[in-house]
């Protein structure tokens, strides 16, 4: 791609993938930690990163470099390490998932639902701006390209709607990050305090057919909550029991 660039046959190489809409690539070559916030990757060389101190002596198996709509690059590492088992607490708990409260334990403890009302308003605001600016840019492209054959414009030539697209994506990403952080803290606290955790087997896809509750169910992220509990219980030697949702409230 760079040879074509220097021969004036194209522009800078773009980050793309023909198989997936997610722009990323994965490698198994050797990569190592050079210093604090510094890593060595194949082909890319030394790059600036964060949280390299958490890798420690773990063996790096795979790495993934991804480019997100927010305009930022992320490095994900798959490592092989030993996980220390947690001490036995001799406690068990049953969890009832809902919408008013995300989780109510059999001990009577209530964990509230995730709330990002201000960020959601910002995301809706930028979504409206993005749609309006893209439509106006598209109208300008149609007007300019009408009866012109030498110099044709493209939609990407207008950067105003692209800035709105990036701001919209960043607001949505912040909501997703805050939700994931909240679920991580909640599931980690449950795994540390209980040896046996009983949850109900909810069919989220079927429940979302009710359009009056679909948005609240999607915001609760019951499936992600269950997935986190499953792999954390497997890591730390806890037992996760899944039962039918009948008569569990």
The pLDDT assigned to 53 comes to 84
DSSP per-residue codes, the chain: -HHHHHTTSS-SPP---SS-SSEEEEE-S--EEEETTEEEETTTEEEE-S-GGGTTTPEEEEEEEEE-TTS-EEEEEEEE---PPPPP---EEEEEE-SSEEEEETTS-EEEPP--HHHHHHHHHHHHHHHHHHHHHHHHHHHHHTT--SS---GGG--HHHHHHHHHHHHHHHHHHHHHHHHHHHHHHHHHH-SEEEEE---HHHHTTSTTTHHHHHHHTHHHHHHHHHHHHHHHT-EEEEE-STT--
User: Which has more pLDDT, 55 or 125?
Assistant: 125
Decide if pLDDT at 4 tops 80. Answer: no
pLDDT average, residue stretch 115-133:
93
Share of the chain above pLDDT 90, in %: 41
Q: For the chain, what is the mean pLDDT? A: 87
pLDDT band at 18 (very low <50, low <70, confident <90, very high): low
Report which of 117, 99, 103, 102 is spatially closest to residue 175, judged by C-alpha positions: 117
Least confident of 5-19, 71-85, 230-244: 5-19
Global pTM value: 0.80
pLDDT average, residue stretch 39-63:
88
pLDDT band at 71 (very low <50, low <70, confident <90, very high): confident
pLDDT average, residue stretch 143-163:
85
What are the pLDDT digits (tens) for 90-118? 899 999 988 888 999 998 999 998 888 89
């Amino acid at each position: 791609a760079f040879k074509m660039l220097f021969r004036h046959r194209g522009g800078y190489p773009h980050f793309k993938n023909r198989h997936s809409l997610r722009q990323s690539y994965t490698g198994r070559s050797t990569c190592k930690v050079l210093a604090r916030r510094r890593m060595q990757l194949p082909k890319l060389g030394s790059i600036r990163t964060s949280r390299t101190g958490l890798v420690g002596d773990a063996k790096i198996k795979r790495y993934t470099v991804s480019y997100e709509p927010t305009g930022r690059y992320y490095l994900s590492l798959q490592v092989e390490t030993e996980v220390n088992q947690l001490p036995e607490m001799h406690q068990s708990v049953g969890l009832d998932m809902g919408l008013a409260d995300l989780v109510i334990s059999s001990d009577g403890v209530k964990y509230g639902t995730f709330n990002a009302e201000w960020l959601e308003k910002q995301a809706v605001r930028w979504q409206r701006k993005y749609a309006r600016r893209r439509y106006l840019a598209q109208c300008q492209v149609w007007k300019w390209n009408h009866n012109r054959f030498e110099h044709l414009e493209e939609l990407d030539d207008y950067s105003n709607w692209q800035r709105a697209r990036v701001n919209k994506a960043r607001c949505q990403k912040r909501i997703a990050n805050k939700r994931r952080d909240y679920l991580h803290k909640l599931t980690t606290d449950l795994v540390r305090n209980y040896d046996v955790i009983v949850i109900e087997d909810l069919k989220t896809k079927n429940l979302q057919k009710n359009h009056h509750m679909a948005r609240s169910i999607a915001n609760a992220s019951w499936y992600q909550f269950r997935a986190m509990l499953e792999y954390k219980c497997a890591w730390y030697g806890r037992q996760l029991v899944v039962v039918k949702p009948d008569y569990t409230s």
